[in-house]
Amino acid sequence: MSSRDERFMQRALELAARGGNRTAPNPLVGAVVVRGGRIVGEGWHRVYGGPHAEVHAIRAAGARAKGAVIYVSLEPCSPHPKKTPPCTDLLARAGIARAVVAIKDPNPLVHGRGLMLLRRAGIKVTTGVCAREAAELNAPFIKVHTRGLPYVAVKWAMTLDGKIATRTGDSRWVSSERSRAWLHRWRDTFHAILVGSGTLLRDDPRLRGTTSRPTRIILDTTAKTPIDAVVVRTAREQPTILAVAPGASEARLRRLRNAGVQILELDVRDLRLVFEALAGEGLHKILVEGGGEVHASVLQEAGLVDEACVFIAPKIIGGRTAKTPVEGDGLAAMADALRLEAVSIDRSGDDVVIRGRLGQ
């Protein structure tokens, strides 16, 4: 692996990230065509169903692709039932001499097959360049194809004494305006936002990003969601899924369906089952912004949550009945505490933001 390979692969990763949340259920992919040490074409997968990164890059390079090196952040696709033609054939026809690939496709149906076809076509293949960064970028895609579950992050804002609302339920606002603006931008990177029925009934949230409208998921065992809730009234503008348990009122469910709400009927207490079903809906990256009970439920399910983001505001409100961010029964021993890895600590106005990955 050369520093040149790393430099051009970093560019491919930068391009891949531009796909945001618009490529799901496809991965984020960037490609760079290099000839004579210079970039002659580049591209990224922009939207699901649209041309792949390699297509954009080869088109931009034109005749200069012959004898060139292509850097791709994920293994080029091979023949497989899909919306777009295989990129392996495209690279061979374009006369690419060498392909540098960050990571293999985690999909077991095609894993390693694209690399094999490139080699058969006489293209020299190098793998593993910037593999860690590429895996982090496509963590949701990898988790779905290796474990059948979406990538899940939990987020909450709390006071210095660990409260998310006062004893009366007032939570507007715990965090600063700057932190709330950052959260809206972060929401743009997710396919869906999940809350519990308690949060919905208390706050009647809209659950939008800055530029996107991620799918809204409500965990609502008995379908208590009011027909005049914001998420119901805007269900035809922004996808909304209500996860309910069998036996919920059919009349209520019919009214919600007529308003444009998608009903997911299953055992809502089995969160692994719920998240598997959501992954099957193409929702590969989900932000959980529920209350303390929802947070406790998802966190106690091993391997479900991948990331936590906590805003701590310099405020103290007290109150033994004031809500906390993670409720439930809790753990009996400190040795069993969930620990964050790769922790980052930043400032957002007067707030402190702690982010980290949960060790699996």
Distances (CA, A) of 227 to 119, 156, 234: 58, 27, 11
The amino acid that residue 4 corresponds to is R
Rg of the Cα trace of the chain?
Answer: 23
Which of the residues 54, 75, 289, 307 is marked catalytic?
54
Q: Which two tokens stand for residue 115?
A: 């690399």
Distances (CA, A) of 354 to 9, 22, 159, 308, 341: 29, 27, 13, 8, 11
- Reduce the DSSP state of residue 318 to 3 states and report it: coil
- Is the peptide bond between 79 and the residue preceding it cis, with omega within 30 degrees of 0? no
φ and ψ at residue 37, rounded to 5 degrees: 80, 5
CB 156 within 8 A of CB 307: no
Torsion angle in degrees (nearest 10) through CA of 15, 211, 271, 137: 10
CB 26 within 8 A of CB 48: yes
- Reduce the DSSP state of residue 98 to 3 states and report it: strand
Distances (CA, A) of 296 to 124, 170, 225, 291, 299: 50, 20, 21, 9, 5
The amino acid that residue 115 corresponds to is L
Q: 331 CB contacts (<8 Å, ≥6 apart)?
A: 337
Number of alpha carbons in the 13 Å side-chain half-sphere of residue 231: 32
CA distance 12 to 330: 44
Instruction: Note if 54 is an active site residue.
Output: yes
DSSP state of 247: T
Q: Which residue in the block uniquely carries the two structure tokens 């080699």?
A: 119
Residues assigned a catalytic role: 54
